Amino acid sequence: MEVEGLICPACAGELKEDQLKDQLVCPHCKTNLKQKKFLAFLEYLIMVGIVSDLDFFDETLYGDEIEHKTIEEKELEDFTNPEDYEDKSEKLKNYDESVDLKEVTTDEESFRVWEGIDEDWEDFNKKNKK
């Protein structure tokens, strides 16, 4: 499929498909078309199928998408672990040895005496409706 009307984004000269397949250089102005400012043109060439070997991990083209931290952002990150500087014996003083929550717990045996515990729940519900 021959694409008509391909023009150089730098000099507006006519470009041939076979020339672009060999190298991404304009034959008229000798501009290297594999640059960040011609990214939309390069993506169009990929979409049409003229160029297929463009590296999407090329930092010269796609380097703007990488997030770079400023010096202030790096300084704000705190990599210190407070556990490294605290005295662990001080922490243990805060724990009580005998903890009594004064909770009332029931014996499991009292639940076993209940009449419907071993029945199927559907049968038990039917029995109460009658």
Tell me the pLDDT tens digit for each residue of 16-61.
888 888 888 888 898 888 887 888 888 888 888 888 777 666 666 6
Residue 15: its pLDDT value, please? 87
Give the model's confidence band at 118: pLDDT under 50 very low, under 70 low, under 90 confident, else very high. Answer: low
Using an 8 Å Cβ cutoff, are 35 and 29 in contact? no
Instruction: Give dist(CA 79, CA 88) in Å, integer.
Output: 20
Element (H, E) at 73: helix 71-76
Instruction: Give dist(CA 109, CA 94) in Å, integer.
Output: 37
pTM: 0.43
The top-scoring range by mean pLDDT among 11-15, 35-39, 83-87, 112-116 is 11-15
Which of 53, 45, 55, 62 is CA-nearest to residue 8? 45
Phi-psi region of 5 (alpha: psi -120 to 50; beta: other; left: phi over 0): left
Q: How many residues does the chain have?
A: 130
- Max Cα–Cα distance, the chain, nearest Å: 97
Residue 14, classed as helix, strand or coil, is strand
The neighbour count for residue 20, using CB atoms within 10 Å, is 20
Give the model's confidence band at 112: pLDDT under 50 very low, under 70 low, under 90 confident, else very high. Answer: low
Q: Taking all residues of the chain, what is their mean pLDDT, rounded to a whole number?
A: 75
The top-scoring range by mean pLDDT among 89-93, 112-116, 117-121, 122-126 is 122-126
Residue 96: its pLDDT value, please? 60
